[in-house]
Structures are given as structure tokens and as C-alpha cells.
Amino acid sequence: MTLKEVQDILNAEVICGEHLLDREVKTAFACDLISEMLSFASSDTLLITSLTNPHVIHTAEVMDAIGVVFVGGKKPSEDIINKLDHGNIPLLSTPLLIFNACGLLFSNGVEGCMRGKTW
Amino acid sequence: MHERKDVVSSPCQPAANKPQLTLRFKIDEKDFLIAGESASKTKKALQQLGLKQEIVKNIAIIVYEAAMNIVIHSNHGEIKIIIAPNQVVVLSEDVGEGIPDIELAMKEGYSTAPNEVREMGFGAGMGLPNIKQCSNELDIKTTVGLGTTLRATIYLNPADTKQVETGTMYV
Ligand SMILES: Nc1ncnc2c1ncn2[C@@H]1O[C@H](COP(=O)(O)OP(=O)(O)OP(=O)(O)O)[C@@H](O)[C@H]1O
Ligand SMILES: [Mg+2]
């Protein structure tokens, strides 16, 4: 599905990156630990998290995430959004909590991702 | 750059293990944002050099985790990303408490990070294992009470593993 469909399914607000919502979402990764994101998530995956600090946005950038969904209606502060170069990463916020957000995406065909050893 | 008489290389073709470019990031105590910033900047620089996406990602992850470890677990330090035609070396040097038991520190899930750090999403005890997974070679030297030097090497050409000149280490 596309990020636009993710937005609809999760009833999410687009914080930034409106123009990138035609991106295809095949896999997602949900967690609240930075090192786990960095070690398990593969590239081109959708990150689902309740962390809204600047580290998450840097992490999304480093791991080549295709987008970030903040759960529980959380949003990074204006300051973080304006100051950080989140470049090509659309940021969304859903009122759903993490279990329901993941469940809905999973039942609509999005799979979990796991980064294998790279070489 | 200081001259070294013991390194001989032909003038038209630089030796594959000779550094072409070094990025440096000074990491101060409690400067939590510098870690992610250093990783982002490293990533952009390496992309511009045309390195493969997967390799760029791995190096950025190493820089992120190593910088975060300096911020959380040491007093201060510096990260250098030394880029040579055949390899990239991430050299992290800090002044701090050091690591009393490296084998234990390498275990997934082992962490001494304080609560305030865990609330930010760090402290899973995954950083060092992750650095190992992302590098071809990892060497950690530490002296308790003095500090830690971590050297992670990523070979760009697996057939050529001649070590790069990185100068002296502090520890
Ligand atoms: N530069 C360092 N100086 C002193 N101790 C360190 C250093 N790096 C790591 N350690 C020790 O090794 C442990 C494991 O490090 P590791 O990076 O794997 O996990 P972490 O930093 O605690 O959590 P995470 O990286 O998942 O956020 C740390 O908790 C700390 O005790
Ligand atoms: Mg760490």
C-alpha cells in the first residue's frame, strides 16, 4: 500500500512530507529503542514509534526509513521539526496506540521487517 | 598532513590503503544531539563520494552508536571517519571510565546506561553488538580509568584488506 493509504487506515495527520505520500509501504518496524531500530530495521521500511525526540528523526534518516508514524497522537515539537533536516522522510501522527496501529497495517498486508546480515 | 618518510607510494596512483579524506567530530559530554548529527553528516558525505547505500548505512550506524557511547559512557572524545580507496575506518577515542569487561559489554542486552538515557530510547545494550554486525573488523582497546579506543573497519574491496594508516592511538 502507499503512505497515503497508511494515513487513511490509521486516521493519521501528516506533519510533513505531504508530497511523498505516494511511496510504497511493504514493511514496517515498531519499537521505542533507538539501537533496536538501528540493528534490526531494514532500509525502506516504515518506522512506527511513540518516541518523538530528535534522535528518532536522525535514526529514521540513518536507517533509510520511508516514513515515520508517531502513535498515541504524539508529535515532535515544532522546534524539532523546524530545526532538523528530516529531508526526505514524511512524518505522520496517529491517535491509535501502537498495538492497534500495527494490527491494522498488518491485516492490510504490511509485513514486519528484519535486517539480515549484510555480507 | 604531516609527511612520513616510511610510506612510499607512486605519485600518480595513491596506495589503496592511504587515507584520502578524514571526517572528524568532537563529542562533548552530555551532548546527546551530536551523535545523530555526526551520523547524518557522515552519511551525506559518503553518499557524495558515491559509496554503496548499504555500506553508507552501516558506517552511519557505527558512527551513531560509537558517538552515543562516548556521550553516555565517557567524559568526552572524538570520532574520525578515515576514508581510503579500499576501506573506511571509524576510529572512536574517548577519555573516560573505560570498559572493565569488554566481553560482557559486547553481549546483547548488557547496559549500564542510566534511566534518563533509557527514557530517550537508548540503553538497550545493542550498540556494541550492532557496531560489530556493521563492520568487517572491530577492535576495542580500553584502560579502566583512562578511556576507550574503538576501531571499526569496513572494507570496500574485500580482496584488499591492507590496513590503513591511522596514526597513533591514545589508549
Ligand atoms: N566508550 C565507552 N566507555 C565506557 N563504557 C562503555 C563505552 N561504550 C560502551 N560501554 C559500556 O558497554 C556497555 C554496552 O554498550 P552498548 O553500546 O552495547 O549498549 P548501551 O550503550 O548501554 O545501550 P545502547 O547502545 O543500546 O543504547 C555500556 O552500557 C557501557 O557499560
Ligand atoms: Mg551504546
What ipTM score was computed for the predicted complex, to two decimals? 0.86
Q: Is residue B149 in contact with ligand 1, taking CB distance under 6 Å?
A: no
What are the structural domains, with CATH classification, of chain B?
A: 7-160 (3.30.565.10)
Assign A82 a pLDDT band (cuts: 50, 70, 90). confident
Q: Is residue B112 in contact with ligand 1, taking CB distance under 6 Å?
A: yes
CATH number at residue A23: 3.40.1390.20
Q: Is the pLDDT at A41 greater than 90, yes or no? A: no
Quick one: angle between helices B53-73 and B32-48, nearest 10?
A: 160
Using the beta-carbon criterion (under 8 Å), do B54 and A117 form an inter-chain contact? no
**Phi, psi dihedrals of residue B92, rounded to the nearest 5°:** -115, 120
- Mean pLDDT over all residues of chain A? 90
Q: From atom 17 of ligand 1, which residue's Cα is the shortest distance away?
A: B127
pLDDT digits over B142-167, tens only? 999 999 999 999 999 877 777 776 65
Residues in contact with B6: Cβ distance below 8 Å, sequence separation at least 6, in sequence order: none
Whole-structure pTM value:
0.88
Mean predicted confidence (pLDDT) in B53-64: 95
Minimal-distance CA residue of chain A relative to B54: A118
Q: Is residue B74 in contact with ligand 1, taking CB distance under 6 Å?
A: yes
Where b means 16+ CB within 10 Å and e means fewer, A29-67 reads bbbbbbbbbbbbbbebbbbbbbbbbbbbbbbbbbbbbbb
Give me the pLDDT at residue A4, please. 97
Q: Is the pLDDT at B5 greater than 50, yes or no? A: no
Number of domains in chain A: 1
Q: Which residue segment(s) compose the domain that A108 sits in?
A: 3-118
Q: Is the pLDDT at B115 greater than 80, yes or no? A: yes
